[in-house]
Amino acid sequence: MKSHGVLPLVTVAMLLCITARAEDQPTRDAANKSDALPWVTQQVEAPRVSFHTFRSRAAKSEVSYHVYKPAAYEESGVEQFPVLYWLHGTEGGVNHIGPVSQMFDRAIRDKGVPPMIVVFVNGLSRRLWTNSKDGRAPIETVFVEELIPHVDKTMRTIPRREGRVLEGFSMGGYGAARIGFRHPEMFCGISILAAGPLDPEFEGPRATGNPLRDRILDDVCEGDIDYFKATHPWTIAESGAEVLRKPGTIIRQAVGSKDFSFYLSLRFHEHLDALKIPHEFHVVNDVGHHTPALMAGLANAEFYLKALGLKADVLELP
């Protein structure tokens, strides 16, 4: 287990921006109607970030996503770039795009993190990055089978496993674990940040007496706890352990010491250890459930370089 102090680079503004706003969340009734699912979000205005849509056959709808491109992307004109796919948390993630994209921009400009395209995926709210049991919200299918090929066709990416990193925070960390573990042939790095709900019984610290738990089970699993367990990262790790033990994908798990999900994250880490699945596990001291604070306490450049098979001197750009 590694412990890191929090770097003093996180601004108060970023921490305020990262807070989810209730008004951005769809109502439960709207979210339960297949024709009302918010497959197209509002457009976020942020430096170096663009808004895109594509037609999804699985969702039978236009689906939106946002893209951050580093300055080097436009400066080179021909170079191919790795892609980091960022999976958002429960509320839908639109509010996170601005601060998170600028966090990456600063890290890349400081020549610590390699120049990467960052794709902010729309996984809807409360959907656990899982195909819903009723078929109305095929989140995983839209992402893996449609969005990734679409991005590879429309941007100068490295269109193979060696050029893709999967990362997410909170529900997005849960999604990074379950999708990454199901498709390790597609990603060279899987970063699981403050993930939840990591207990396969769904009885964690924010579940008891919380109507959100029932809404998630209803929306995603039609109230079927067995479906929840079958699609859970805990179960997927067990069934895919033999493949996940092989060299290739670099797996990172991280959580703040003051995060409500700390003990469940620790339990999940121990589960991966018992399965002999190689992974890093980091605890960032004195950090709660906050994206920039957690990431500021991690050696991100080291992880991305290692996953992408790059050396630090690759960042010495003209």
Q: What is the pLDDT of residues 114-168, one digit of tens each?
A: 999 999 999 999 999 999 999 999 999 999 999 999 999 999 999 999 999 999 9
Query: Pairing between strand 61-68 and 83-87?
Result: unpaired
Burial of 49 (0-12, 13-18, 19+ CB in 10 A): buried
Percent of the chain surpassing pLDDT 90: 79
**What letter does residue 190 receive in the DSSP assignment?**
E
Q: Could you report the per-residue pLDDT of 34-85, keeping only the tens digit for each? A: 457 999 999 999 999 999 999 999 999 999 999 999 999 989 889 999 999 9
From the CB of residue 201, how many other CB atoms can be counted at a distance below 10 Å?
12
β pairing state of 61-68 and 117-121: antiparallel
| Numbers of helices and strands, H then E, in the chain | 14, 9
pLDDT in tens, 253-283: 999 999 999 999 999 999 999 999 999 999 9
Higher pLDDT, 185 or 313: 185
pLDDT tens digits along 188-238: 999 999 999 999 999 887 777 778 899 999 999 999 999 999 999 999 999
Q: What CA–CA distance (Å, rounded) separates 168 from 190?
A: 9
- Residue percentage of the chain with pLDDT more than 70: 87
pTM exceeds 0.75: yes
Domains of the chain, start order: 2-315 (3.40.50.1820)
DSSP H or E stretch at residue 152: helix 148-154
Identify residue 189 by its one-letter amino acid code: G
Q: Tell me the CB-side half-sphere exposure of residue 281, using CA atoms within 13 A.
A: 17
